[in-house]
Amino acid sequence: MKTAELRVDEELILRMSGAGPRYTSYPTVPEWHDFGDADARAALVRASAKPDEPLCIYVHLPFCARMCLFCGCTVEITRRQGKVDSYLAAIEKEVAMTCALLGKRRKIAQIHWGGGTPTHLKPEELRRLYGILSSHFEIEKGAEISIEVHPHVTSFEQIDTLVELGFNRVSMGVQDLDHHVQEVIHRDQTTEETENLVAHCRKRGIGGINLDLMYGLPEQTEATFAATLQTIARIKPDRLAVYGYAHVPWLKRHQTALERYRLPTAPERARLFFVAIDELSKAGYEVIGLDHFALKTDALYRALESDTLHRNFMGYTTHPAEEMLAFGMSSIGDFGGAFVQNNHDTKSYEAAINSGQFSAMKGMVRSAEDDLRRAVIQSLMCGMRLDLDEMEARCGVKDLATHFARELSELQPLADQGFCTISGRRVDVAPRGRLFLRHLAMVFDEYLRKKKAEGPRFSKTI
């Protein structure tokens, strides 16, 4: 794809830069309500009705040695050894409680360990956690097994252990390589650390290596960010996520410390994003969707081309398992027609599990209408289209043209701006529309429509 196809003028990008959800789920998290042990149990029992369907597993490992000031993840800063021990013991109980309700359903097509920093765990702890999963589940041959790591704290020995366990995807946090920006955000990470870790992963046969970058960080300029991107292009990861910094100090108090520095304005954020597009296009990366880029040789790009791309809480993926079990504090599962999110702090999570209860805190059982809209949003964000005939067949519904008449007319202004084309019963996302998938999806978000009057509750879309 040529950069020119993606270019939109700055004025337009500013107009489009309001708040919006990322649609890793529909309905989105703000629409969920209080959930508890009984809701989690009921959803697991429903999930047990499809014994042969493979599942995904997400494990949240919240620990980090040091707080990065921009961090929006659910983390716990600790260096105390006992913390990891008691956490893994709780995960073991949670897995056993889950399996007791899942009947014969055990096949696993995808595993992801996210955080925090999963490589806060020592090699023997990584083995222990993997053993908990492999002794309860049947991990399919060819399953995608991935982990998020921070290069500054990840050793070759940890990577070797992960490879030995069967991990075949690694995602590394980088954010920015500029020394001053790193100092401001409290991040210690040399280019060599990232480069050497990528090289070691490759040597050990890990493919689809992803690096996370961020734009909109304090003190970033177009020149510093371009320099970061040029170095990254030299390292040449298979994939890149380029996230806009979400400044949400009302949720993450530590972010207020960044307010004494110069935070890029909205037009500056837009320009930083274009710097990323320009540099990455020059280096041979294609836009997958939203803020994800991949080389043409990468499985994610091939999935986009062959119409097999999927999206779940982990973002874009090539694996089709529809339902996801989630273990650990704050983790979000999607099974038995419901979303189920665990308690946000380690203490409450462990206390619930140790008393024999699931620590579910928030969630939602989806309605048929929710599932239909979810399928539409998935199709726009992964298949880059909405084909009403296809959707009717897939969801077993009729006359979607009438059902979505208002939405289809609301897409017209987006089509006028070149984000999509509408012809007959089909909407196709245009190349530049891949950067604005949230906006196309928002048209089909019934809850957002109802709540528009309440004002923004999400981070900026650009």
Region of 32-40, 63-71, 420-428, 445-453 interacting with ligand SF4 (CB under 6 A): 63-71
Among the listed residues 43, 44, 56, 64, the single contact to ligand SF4 using CB under 6 A: 64
The interface with ligand SF4 within residues 80-99 (CB under 6 A) comprises none
The interface with ligand SF4 within residues 170-199 (CB under 6 A) comprises 173
Region of 115-123, 156-164, 348-356, 366-374 interacting with ligand SF4 (CB under 6 A): 115-123
Q: Length of the chain, please?
A: 462
DSSP string for 128-150: HHHHHHHHHSEEEEEEEEEEEE-
Alpha-helical runs (H) found in 236-289: 266-282
CB proximity list for 199: less than 8 A, separation 6 or greater: none
150-156 long-range CB contacts below 8 Å, 24 or more apart? 150/64, 150/117, 150/119, 150/189, 151/189, 151/193, 151/194, 151/197, 152/187, 152/188, 152/189, 152/193, 153/65, 153/117, 153/119, 153/120, 154/119, 154/197, 155/119, 156/197, 156/200
Question: From the list ligand SAM, ligand SF4, none, which binds 281 (C-beta under 5 to 8 Å, kind-based)?
Answer: none
Q: Contact residues for ligand SAM (CB under 6 A)? A: 70-73, 114-117, 148, 150, 173, 175, 212, 214, 243, 245-246
> 187 or 271, CB closer to ligand SAM?
187
> Site size for ligand SF4, by CB under 6 A?
11
Distance CA(237)–CA(152), nearest Å, equals 17
Among the listed residues 67, 88, 365, 395, the single contact to ligand SF4 using CB under 6 A: 67
> 245 or 285, CB closer to ligand SF4?
245
- By CB neighbour count within 10 A (0-12 exposed, 13-18 middle, 19+ buried), where does 151 fall? buried
- Side-chain-side CA neighbours of 75 within 13 Å: the count stands at 22
Site membership for ligand SF4, residue 270 (CB under 6 A)? no
Among the listed residues 150, 252, 310, 439, the single contact to ligand SF4 using CB under 6 A: 150
3-state DSSP call for residue 66? coil
Question: From the list ligand SF4, ligand SAM, none, which binds 243 (C-beta under 5 to 8 Å, kind-based)?
Answer: ligand SAM
**Helix, strand, coil percent content, the chain, rounded in steps of 5:** 45, 20, 30
Site membership for ligand SF4, residue 117 (CB under 6 A)? yes
Q: How far is the CB of 253 from ligand SF4 (least distance, A)?
A: 13
> 75 or 162, CB closer to ligand SF4?
75
Question: From the list ligand SAM, ligand SF4, none, which binds 246 (C-beta under 5 to 8 Å, kind-based)?
Answer: ligand SAM
Binding-residue pattern over the window 10 to 49 for ligand SF4, x denoting contact by CB under 6 A: ----------------------------------------
> 57 or 64, CB closer to ligand SF4?
64
Site membership for ligand SF4, residue 115 (CB under 6 A)? yes
Among the listed residues 14, 42, 73, 246, the single contact to ligand SF4 using CB under 6 A: 73
Give the number of other CB atoms < 10 A from CB of residue 357.
15
Tokens standing for residue 290: 């939203």
3-state DSSP call for residue 361? strand
Site membership for ligand SF4, residue 151 (CB under 6 A)? no
Region of 111-119, 137-145, 218-226, 433-441 interacting with ligand SF4 (CB under 6 A): 111-119
Locate tokens 């017209």: which residue? 412
DSSP β-ladder status, 285-289 and 239-244 = unpaired
Distance CA(341)–CA(343), nearest Å, equals 7
Among the listed residues 40, 55, 61, 68, the single contact to ligand SF4 using CB under 6 A: 68
Binding residues for ligand SF4, per CB under 6 A?
Answer: 64, 67-68, 71, 73, 75, 115-117, 150, 173
